[in-house]
Amino acid sequence: MTAVPTTVIRHAKEKVRKCSLRFLHGRPEMTFLRQREGFTFDATGFTLLAVDAPPLTAADAGRPLLLLDSTWRWLPQLLACLHGEPVPRSIPGHLPTAYPRRSKVFADPAAGLASIEALYVARALLGDDDPTLLDGYHWRDEFLARWRARRG
C-alpha cells in the first residue's frame, strides 16, 4: 500500500525537540505546518484525528490524514485555525499511551495518545502499517507491544 499522505499542524509553542514526530521530517508523505498568528487551514477532505469522534475504520481510507500536534491545553487554538469540512475520526477502543505524561496544570484525556502513536495506529488501521514511523520514538517497543496485544 502507498503511504497515507499526512499533514501535521504544530502549535507555535510546541517544542520540536520534544515532539514525538520530529523523526518524520523529510518523509515524502509528510507535510509539517506551523500554526502562527493569522494561520488558517482548509481541512476539507481530510480525516482529522480527534479524541471525541466516531472511530476510524478501513472505510476512511482514501482521504489524507490531518494531525494537530500540541499539548492538550493548546488544542482548542489549533482547532480554531481550521475551516472547511474535515471528517473527524478517533482511534477506536482504549489503547494506553506509552508516553509518560507529566502535566502538572492540565488533565490529559484518558484516551489520548502521543502524536506519533496516534499517527502510527491511524495509518495501520487504514492499511498502511509501517513500524518505521516509530523509529526514533523512545517508547517504540513498549507501544508496539501494547498495540500488538490489543490486536491479538
Q: Tell me the pLDDT tens digit for each residue of 1-13.
A: 689 999 999 987 7
Burial degree of 9 (CB within 10 A; 0-12, 13-18, 19+)? buried
CA end-to-end span of the chain, whole Å?
22
Helix (H, G, I), strand (E, B) or coil at 68: strand
Amino acid at 19: C
pLDDT score of 21: 85
- Distance, in Å, from the CA atom of 68 to the CA atom of 24, rounded to the nearest integer, reads 15
Amino acid at 75: L
- Distance, in Å, from the CA atom of 33 to the CA atom of 54, rounded to the nearest integer, reads 25
**Whole-prediction pTM:** 0.85
Where do the domains of the chain lie?
6-151
Tens-place pLDDT, residues 97-124: 655 545 555 455 555 688 899 999 999 9
Whose grid coordinates read 499522505? 5
More confident site: 91 or 83: 83
- Distance, in Å, from the CA atom of 32 to the CA atom of 84, rounded to the nearest integer, reads 19
Largest CA distance in the chain: 45
Residue 55 parent element (H or E)? none
pLDDT score of 147: 82
